[in-house]
Structure formats: structure tokens, C-alpha cells
Amino acid sequence: MTVNEKLIDFIKQSPSSFHAVETIARRLEAEGYISLPECTAWTILPGGKYFVTRNQSSVIAFSVPTAAPRGFMMCASHSDSPTFKIKEHPESESAGMYVKLNTERYGGMLCSTWLDRPLSVAGRVVVKSEGKIQSRTVCVDRDLLLIPNVAIHMMRGANDNMSYNANVDMFPLMGSTAVKGSFKKIIAEAAGVAAEDIIASDLYLYSRTAATVWGAENEFISSPRLDDLQCAFASLEGFLAADAKDSVPVLAVLDNEEVGSQTKQGAASTFLYDVLMRICSALGMEYLPAISCSFLVSADNAHAAHPNHPEFSDANHRPKMNGGIVIKHNANQRYTTDAVSQAIFASICEAADVPVQYFANRSDMAGGSTLGNIANTQVSLNTVDIGLAQLAMHSSYETAGAKDTEHLITALTRFYSSSLNVLADGEYAIE
Ligand code: CO
């Protein structure tokens, strides 16, 4: 399989953040990683490989070198994407002939891109089973829903400054009134449980549109959820391919970036801190010196220059798809990159023979945010914000460069194989 085929397969297996974490956990287990439940004491041994999940939607994996480690080489990305969450009582009748589902927005999507395409439902259900309460992933693996546009004849202004009301325009159609009451049964059947055993659920829409590699020279890849599963996939591959000697490589894929990260499993939580503290105490490492000799890569996709609107990019900082890793700058530190973290990460990319390019917003545009600076409020250390250049961020179908996944895997393999020796504040050696 080519790298892009593997990426497409990874995304297909990951229609929700729960599935992304399950897909990563399965891969880690196949590579000999041991699951550490947060509710037990941990035994961590030199040479061991481990992972921890929280809320089934965030995961942190690490491997321990055989020699005493100096610090942590970490990469964080996110498992969630903008979508619509299905409410507790979702079914409602419309026009005396339809059953549609009541949803609310999760994150900041481009609404128009969710219209007129096959959709379905994925997430988790919590079931009562043999006296226990048990969470299980569920994915309805068929075309189940669609949000229809209004015909141009009925809405003449549809091509001019259209606005979308999430409580009116974005509800998906499920069937005729004959199917009233069947949503829960469809979910139960897909989960392999009895409908009456489902106590609660976290269910989201996902796009069924298949990914494709396209363009005159097959230079582009389009798919749902490239932000941020492209970085999650590439960091997993780089993490698994690395040969770490002096530092602990840490892979973090965290939920809820799209809604600000302030959840028990998001980048604003203590999840990363908790795992690092437990590693330190198990290995007899001192936390604070270890953190000062550590580095975090915050990996979340970046905006490529748009073919029809290049003016939206800063004239001197226009990332190019297939142009390699984008190092992101923001004076107000919504991106964590500074001169030191840029120098360290760009040196690693250079050593790995991977091209880098630079992004900054136009000075009159606020731009987006990500998880690096939020993670720094819990674990503070040198951090760089990077991503792969893509078009149509937060569309239900995004486009990126077909060669860039490989660029990121190569760079992160090198990164995870390295360690940071801090000689003084402001003086570093990459070893
Ligand atoms: Co993102």
C-alpha cells in the first residue's frame, strides 16, 4: 500500500474521534504496545512500549529507551473534526411526510459543504450490560442521511451571501414518516446491542464521500477529516518508525480541539501532564529537568494559498501543497513557534531532507488557533506549531498535497529519533 492508500484507509476507519482513537490503539497493539488503564498503578520498564486512552477519544503513546532518558520528544495532533452532534431526542416530523434529525453544530464547519451528499452516523453508545455500564463505538456503515439544498427556483438568493441557520437549514433527512421511531433501532443494530440497553450516546454525522487522489499529475488528495487526521496518521507512522535512544518519544492525539480543548481529555486538560508525571515517577526521572530537555510539536493542518483567492494569504507567506512542512507563526502566540523552536524543528527537517515553508496570517486577519499554546498552559516547554498545507479547511471534504504526508512522516521519524540537550537557557544541541 502507498502512504496515501494507508492514510485513506486510516481516515475511513476513523469516522469519529472515538474511532480515530480505536484505530490508533489497534495499530499500537499490533506493534506490541501495552494499554495502561488510568485507574490502575503502572509498571513501566526500560524498553517497554505503552499507550493510555482517556474518554476513548484521546490517546497518548510512548516508548521507553533502554538507557536513562533525558526528556520527552512529543507530537500532538487532534482526533476531532467539525461536524454535527445528534441531540438526545433527535427525530422530528416535517411537512407531514418526513422524519429528520435534530442536530447541533460541533465546531466551526463550512455548512454548505454538508449539503447534498450521503451522510451517516458514528460515535459511541453507553449500554447497560450484565450489571455494568459500558461504552462502545458505533458506526452506521451505510448511506443513511442527507441534508438537501433548497432549489434555486425557491431561493433565488442562494448564490449570493447565503447564510445557514443550524436550527433550520442543517437538519438531515432520514426517511418518510413511516420510519418514525427507528433511529435508535438503527444505532442499536449497528452497535450489536438491544435498543433498550442503550442508556446514552455521543453520536455525530460523518460524510460518506470517498477520498481520492487526483490532479493532472495526481498531486492532490481530497478526503473528509484531513484536518487533523493527516497529521494524526503521519505522527503515528513517524512515532512507530523512530529509533529513540536518549528521550522518550510521545505521541498525543487529543479530542475537542475544534471546540477549544477545554475538556477532561483535551489539550487544556491535565491528560498529558498526568501521563508524563506517571512516566517520570515510574522511571525515577525528575519531572522539571526532564521537561526543560523536552520539545513539543503541535501538528495541525495549515492554509495553502487558494487558487481563486490568493489575496487571502499573506503575500510573503503562501504555503504550497507538496511544498513540505508548514511552520506557523503568529505574533500573538496563537501559534507557539518562536525563533528557538523554529530553529530546532527546521534543523531536524533539514537533517531529514524534508522541505519547510512558513505561514503567517495577513496582518489584517485574525486567523485560526490550535492546541499547542493551550497544551503549554499545562506542560510548558519549547513548542513549534506546524501543519501540512491544505485547501478548504473545515469543509466536509478537504484537499491537501499528495506528497506531504510522506514529508511529515519522514520529518517526525527523525524528530522522534532525536533528543534535545539543553546546555543553557537559549543554547541547545540536537542529538
Ligand atoms: Co485542526
Same domain, 260 and 359: yes
- pLDDT exceeds 90 at position 305: yes
Centre of ligand 1 from the C-alpha of residue 290, in Å:
28
**Residue 110 counted as domain residue:** yes
Reported as a single tens digit per residue, the pLDDT across 256-287 is 999 999 999 999 999 999 999 999 999 999 99
Supply the CATH number for residue 203's domain: 2.30.250.10
Centre of ligand 1 from the C-alpha of residue 181, in Å:
36
CA-CA-CA-CA torsion sign (61, 65, 66, 69)? negative
Supply the CATH number for residue 41's domain: 3.40.630.10
Centre of ligand 1 from the C-alpha of residue 228, in Å:
5
**Residue 216 counted as domain residue:** no
- pLDDT exceeds 90 at position 301: yes
**Residue 217 counted as domain residue:** no
Centre of ligand 1 from the C-alpha of residue 302, in Å:
8
**Residue 233 counted as domain residue:** yes
Centre of ligand 1 from the C-alpha of residue 147, in Å:
24
- What pLDDT is stored for residue 342 in this prediction? 98
Q: Which residue has the higher pLDDT, 123 or 162?
A: 123
Same domain, 77 and 88: no
Centre of ligand 1 from the C-alpha of residue 118, in Å:
23
Centre of ligand 1 from the C-alpha of residue 247, in Å:
27
Centre of ligand 1 from the C-alpha of residue 79, in Å:
9
**Residue 219 counted as domain residue:** no
Same domain, 178 and 267: no
Among residues 207, 240, 268, the one where a domain terminates is 207
Centre of ligand 1 from the C-alpha of residue 117, in Å:
23
**Residue 215 counted as domain residue:** no
pTM (whole model) above 0.95:
yes
- What pLDDT is stored for residue 180 in this prediction? 97
Centre of ligand 1 from the C-alpha of residue 352, in Å:
25
Among residues 207, 240, 264, the one where a domain terminates is 207
Instruction: Give the whole-angstrom CA distance, residue 200 versus residue 405.
Output: 37
Same domain, 104 and 141: yes
Centre of ligand 1 from the C-alpha of residue 229, in Å:
9
- What pLDDT is stored for residue 340 in this prediction? 97
Average pLDDT, the chain: 97
Same domain, 114 and 23: no
Average pLDDT over residues 278-299: 97
Same domain, 236 and 375: yes
Listed in sequence order, the residues at least 6 apart from 373 whose beta carbon sits closer than 8 Å to its beta carbon are 298, 333, 334, 335, 336, 383, 385
**Residue 197 counted as domain residue:** yes
Same domain, 242 and 349: yes
Structural domain count, the chain: 2
Same domain, 365 and 237: yes
Same domain, 266 and 382: yes
Among residues 142, 176, 207, the one where a domain terminates is 207
Q: What are the grid coordinates assigned to 129, written together?
A: 450490560
Centre of ligand 1 from the C-alpha of residue 272, in Å:
18
Same domain, 188 and 332: no
- pLDDT exceeds 90 at position 129: no
- What pLDDT is stored for residue 175 in this prediction? 98
Centre of ligand 1 from the C-alpha of residue 371, in Å:
8
* pLDDT over 70 percentage in the chain: 100
Centre of ligand 1 from the C-alpha of residue 128, in Å:
34
DSSP states along 95-122: TTTEEEEEEEEES---GGGGBSS-EEEE
Give the structural domain span for 278.
Answer: 3-81+224-430
Centre of ligand 1 from the C-alpha of residue 257, in Å:
7
DSSP states along 298-333: EE--EEPPPSS-GGGSBTTB---TTS-EEEE--TTS
Centre of ligand 1 from the C-alpha of residue 78, in Å:
7
Centre of ligand 1 from the C-alpha of residue 387, in Å:
9
DSSP states along 243-299: --SSEEEEEEEES-GGGTS-STTSTTSSHHHHHHHHHHHHHT--HHHHHHT-EEEEE
- pLDDT exceeds 90 at position 161: no
Amino acid, single-letter form, for residue 346: A
Same domain, 16 and 104: no
**Residue 218 counted as domain residue:** no
Bridge partner list, 106: 83
Same domain, 46 and 148: no
Centre of ligand 1 from the C-alpha of residue 395, in Å:
12
Instruction: Give the whole-angstrom CA distance, residue 172 versus residue 205.
Output: 9
Reported as a single tens digit per residue, the pLDDT across 199-253 is 999 999 999 999 999 999 999 999 999 999 999 999 999 999 999 989 999 999 9
Residue 126 exposed, middle or buried by CB count within 10 Å (0-12, 13-18, 19+): middle
Centre of ligand 1 from the C-alpha of residue 384, in Å:
15
